Amino acid sequence: MEYARKATDLALEHLKDQMAREAPDQDLLDRLGWSPEDLQKFYRWWDQKKRTAGAPGTAGDGAKRELDEALRSLGLRPPGTELKGGGLQADRLRNLTESRRLDPPPQWAEQIRAYTRALSGRDD
């Protein structure tokens, strides 16, 4: 959670700097698929969440839970902790890495399925 909180704070600071400019970085807006108004709306939403979560009392507690849930939903993790099952340290010790599995191109999907079935002995 702490990593997600810090990463989000840095990203929001960057967006705030972009909004302070006369014209935000067009490349950033293009990559995000946003307009300058979208950028401002997004920043205001997160800023409001953070300010409300810092408020005292039950309203602040509820807002803090909501902010924590939003941060968790981002799925941000420190670099080097992406492997599932917590096996990162053991894998690092054994010098193992997990490869990325990709779906085959659509035109080859049926041939790949047939090949896999043949290997497993399922020729149905």
Q: Which long-range contacts (CB under 8 A, 24 or more apart) does 46-53 make?
A: 46/8, 46/12, 47/12, 50/12
Q: Identify the H or E element spanning 70.
A: helix 57-73
Grade residue 120 by pLDDT with cuts at 50, 70 and 90. confident
Collapsed DSSP state (helix, strand, coil) of residue 104? coil
**pTM attached to this predicted model:** 0.55
pLDDT confidence of residue 93: 58
Grade residue 117 by pLDDT with cuts at 50, 70 and 90. confident
Grade residue 90 by pLDDT with cuts at 50, 70 and 90. low
The rounded distance, in Å, linking the Cα atoms of 8 and 74 is 9
Nearest to 65 by CA among 118, 20, 1: 1
